[in-house]
Structure 1
Amino acid sequence: MDNLIAARATMAFSLGFHIIFAAIGMTMPFLMSAAHYIYLKKGEKVYLELTRMWMKGVAILFAVGAVSGTVLSFELGLLWPEFMQHAGPIIGMPFSWEGTAFFVEAVAIGLFLYGWGRMKPWVHWGTGLAVGISGFISGIFVVAANSWMNAPQGFDWVDGRAINIDPVAAMFNQAWPHQSLHMQLAAVQAVGFAVGGVHALLYLRGRARDLNLKAMRIAMIFGATAALLQPISGHIAGEQIAKLQPAKLAAIEGHFKTSANAPLTIGGIPDVETQTMKWGIEIPGLLSILAHRDPSAVVIGLDQYPREDWPPVLIVHLAFQLMVALGMLMAFLGLLFFWFLRKGHFPGWFLWSLALATPLGMIAIEAGWIVTEVGRQPWIIYEIFRTEDAVTPVPGMVYHFYLFLALYLGLAAVSVWLFARQVRITQRKIESP
């Protein structure tokens, strides 16, 4: 494993680990606040127990997310010094604002954790809500930095360096709105389904059934709503990618030849050597419609780019197909959830479906980030600066990869154990006479 592959693998694994905790950190506080709100309105003790259980989960997962996020910041400088030399002055603003939002989030968590009985009830509830709002804002600022890498602006690139830097224009780049919308909805969808699935399983096992049913409802209201909105967000993102990163769109769809009335291929395996799609189902003109709202519109193919500028087509296409398939499945389950919620009864087969769907949102997030990051290759700053030119010249990055692989696997195991322990404690407390 050479330095470039080791550095990319380290960054990919670190980001893939952190994004799960970032999504949880953005969404769980809203679930917690919803349960707390119902308790304050109705006074039912079960909602208080649910709030406290989710509160402890938020604290545990916030700590792990803070650690993994800090590591990512160090890795940007450690693994990609040339990138940071050029990009640091340009994207420093969203990172500084993200740090401010993170600080507010940390303060709000402290107030909520230790404010029980020391603050007026609704003020205390407001601190919990502030945790979610600041976490959401923090995520938006991080995505602003990433979206700049996909749609760089706010500077002039002259003789291999950036001049005339405008950090405000860089932060509010063209890719920022659709990437932020898509990621925030993905976080709510993934966490809603994960939490809803866990509580559905506990309910089916007969554990604290009243608490788990109420918890599942709260979580799925968030998750199902996001799942139904996500296809709209995905369509908006697709139109923008067609405009800003046509090579990525071509890789996503396995679209090798520039053509009008371009077909959309469902499934299939792209063959880079023959530049054809195998075993897919083609729908004529649909790609032109989705990308440009016109069936006769020309969709740029990979044939318009040198071979060395192609993204890894197979990986990007398969990751996108997986993300879309899981998203549509969750949207269908979301429709069923609202149907059964209206009926006032959830049949057992549906609850088992939710339990089986627990990891689907997180898998979809990972697949989506593969599309975003791998689809930008070979550029670290799209069409300006290559990834291979940004990597550190220091040898031995493979050992860094193994070290952080072990660290993150350990953190994941401890996090799951701690969270499961808190759930078991709460369940026993509810079930005891």
Structure 2
Amino acid sequence: MTDLLYARAQMGLSLAFHIVFAAAGVALPVLMVLSDLKHRRTGDADYRKLSEKLAKGTAILFAVGAVSGTVLSFELGLLWPEFMGRYGEVIGLPFSLEGVAFFTEAIFLGIYLYGRERVSPGLHLFSGVMVAVSGAASAFFVTLVNTFMNNPSGFTPTPTGPTDVQPLVAMFSPGWQYQTAHVLLSCYQASAFAMAGIHAFILLKHPGAGFHKKALSIALPLACVTALAQPLVGDLSAKHVAREQPVKLAAMEAHFDTEAGAPLRVGGWPDVETRTVSGSIDLPKGLSILAFADPDAEVKGLNAFPRDVWPPVAKVHMAFQVMVGTGSLMALLALATLWRRWRGREWPHGKGMMRAWLWSGPLGLVALEAGWLVTEWGRQPWIVRDVMRTGEAVTPVPHLAAPFFTFTAVYLFLGVTVLFVLWRQVAGTLPGSKTPGAPADGEVAHAH
């Protein structure tokens, strides 16, 4: 590979690794607070235990997310010096605010973790809420930077760099509301589905485990609500892409020819050389309806744009299909679960539904990663769309293969370590288990 490809691969690997921990850092505090509120309302010790476990899990993932996020910030400067040198002043405001949110989250997480018996109940709960708010704010501000890279605004471009910089206009570039909502929902959805999958797995093996039934009752409402809200927000985001980034939409849909009443292609494999798609199921006028709410609307195809500004069509199309496919499966499962709940069944009922939630556990993370691939691949060959190409921003330092393979090894080690530590947290809640030096579940319940 060329040094440019190694730089892109290293940045992509770092983002793919970091985003898992960032998403958990946004969502787990919400689940933690919900468990805490349930404990305060019911007095059930299991909900307190759940909030404590979620707080510890948040701390573990927050620590790893801080490390991987720091690596990313260094990589921005070291791998893409021209981008940061020219546009640092334009995107500096949301990065600064993200730093404030990060430190706020760290402070209140410390209070929540260690202050349960040392501060008032109200202050303790407030600290948990602030962890959740700060985590969401952190993701919000970082996503604003990505929105700018896709829809740059707030400056006048010149051959030597931006002038007439307006930081607030740049921070809230066109489409910011759709992209930030889409990202935040994906964080909550991925984490809630993962949590539901873990507890469904344990309940299939230990059907009478009360703690895990209660944990599932906390995760399922958030999973169902976000799974149903996400397609609606995703539709608004896709309509914005159709208006503002038609070449990205064409790549997402593998749409080569400009057509009125364009079909929606489900699946299929695009061939860039022949400019055809094989194996797809075409829904007549579907793309025109979804993109412009008009069955006869004209949708621009890739052939309407110069070949050197096409994104990698096959990659973007397949990642988009994975995102939409997994999102659709999660929405269907949410509908089925809510229907059965409305009919008075348990939450959820039966081994079949439990297995469905088990197998759906990873889907949120798959959709999250696929969505980011669509966003990043779909912007290529630009690092700032229509202003700076990715190849113009890369460092001139050679031999980038060495740091790529080094960081790959580091991320693998961190990933295995985190999984081991988190499993220790989950294992401590299994029936019959007992943390050394801690009272058994029955003793805790009796004490409360």
- Taking the aligned partners of 1:341 and 1:73, their CA distance within structure 2 comes to 45
Check the 8 A contact 2:98/2:137 in 1, yes or no. yes
- Taking the aligned partners of 2:335 and 2:262, their CA distance within structure 1 comes to 31
Check the 8 A contact 1:35/1:51 in 2, yes or no. yes
1:170-249 matched pairs, under 5 angstroms: 170-206=170-206, 209-249=209-249
- Taking the aligned partners of 1:252 and 1:19, their CA distance within structure 2 comes to 22
Question: CA shift at 1:207, angstroms?
Answer: 7.3
Question: CA shift at 1:45, angstroms?
Answer: 0.8
**Partner of residue 273, structure 1:** 273
Check the 8 A contact 1:150/1:175 in 2, yes or no. no
Q: Decide which of 412, 417, 420 is 1:417's aligned counterpart.
A: 420
Question: CA shift at 1:340, angstroms?
Answer: 3.1
SS at match of 1:383: coil
**Partner of residue 115, structure 1:** 115
1:263-284 deviation line (CA, Å, top 9, x unaligned): 1111111111111111111112
- Taking the aligned partners of 1:87 and 1:208, their CA distance within structure 2 comes to 57
**Partner of residue 42, structure 1:** 42
Question: CA shift at 1:337, angstroms?
Answer: 2.0
Tell whether 2:272 aligns with 1:282: no
Instruction: Give aligned-pair identity as a percent.
Output: 46
Amino acid at match of 1:395: P
**Partner of residue 404, structure 1:** 407
**Partner of residue 355, structure 2:** 352
SS at match of 1:426: coil
Q: Single out whichever of 288-297 and 78-87 deviates more from structure 2.
A: 288-297
- Taking the aligned partners of 2:279 and 2:206, their CA distance within structure 1 comes to 45
**Partner of residue 302, structure 2:** 302
Unaligned stretches of 5+ in structure 1? none
**TM-score, normalised on structure 1?**
0.98
Unaligned stretches of 5+ in structure 2? 435-439, 444-448
Amino acid at match of 2:148: W
Check the 8 A contact 1:147/1:179 in 2, yes or no. yes
Amino acid at match of 2:413: G
Amino acid at match of 1:303: N
SS at match of 1:266: strand
- Taking the aligned partners of 1:381 and 1:159, their CA distance within structure 2 comes to 14
Amino acid at match of 1:82: E
SS at match of 2:429: helix
- Taking the aligned partners of 2:364 and 2:153, their CA distance within structure 1 comes to 32
1:142-157 matched pairs, under 5 angstroms: 142-157=142-157
Question: CA shift at 1:317, angstroms?
Answer: 0.3
Check the 8 A contact 1:208/1:431 in 2, yes or no. no
Q: Single out whichever of 268-277 and 136-145 deviates more from structure 2.
A: 268-277
Check the 8 A contact 1:207/1:431 in 2, yes or no. no
- Taking the aligned partners of 1:120 and 1:203, their CA distance within structure 2 comes to 35
1:61-115 deviation line (CA, Å, top 9, x unaligned): 1101111111100000010001101110100000000001111100010110111
Amino acid at match of 2:138: S
Question: CA shift at 1:358, angstroms?
Answer: 1.2
Check the 8 A contact 1:148/1:175 in 2, yes or no. no
- Taking the aligned partners of 1:29 and 1:230, their CA distance within structure 2 comes to 20
**Partner of residue 393, structure 1:** 396
Amino acid at match of 1:325: G
1:18-37 matched pairs, under 5 angstroms: 18-37=18-37
Question: CA shift at 1:159, angstroms?
Answer: 2.1
Amino acid at match of 1:360: L
Tell whether 2:366 aligns with 1:366: no
Check the 8 A contact 1:152/1:381 in 2, yes or no. yes
4+ residue runs over 3 A deviation: 429-433
- Taking the aligned partners of 1:18 and 1:207, their CA distance within structure 2 comes to 34
Question: CA shift at 1:122, angstroms?
Answer: 2.3
1:84-95 matched pairs, under 5 angstroms: 84-95=84-95
Tell whether 2:162 aligns with 1:162: yes
**Partner of residue 10, structure 2:** 10
Check the 8 A contact 1:266/1:281 in 2, yes or no. yes
Question: CA shift at 1:426, angstroms?
Answer: 3.1
- Taking the aligned partners of 2:10 and 2:159, their CA distance within structure 1 comes to 30
**Partner of residue 377, structure 1:** 380
- Taking the aligned partners of 1:282 and 1:261, their CA distance within structure 2 comes to 12
- Taking the aligned partners of 2:37 and 2:135, their CA distance within structure 1 comes to 19
Check the 8 A contact 2:211/2:429 in 1, yes or no. no
1:27-66 deviation line (CA, Å, top 9, x unaligned): 0000011011010111111111111111111111110111
Question: CA shift at 1:414, angstroms?
Answer: 0.8
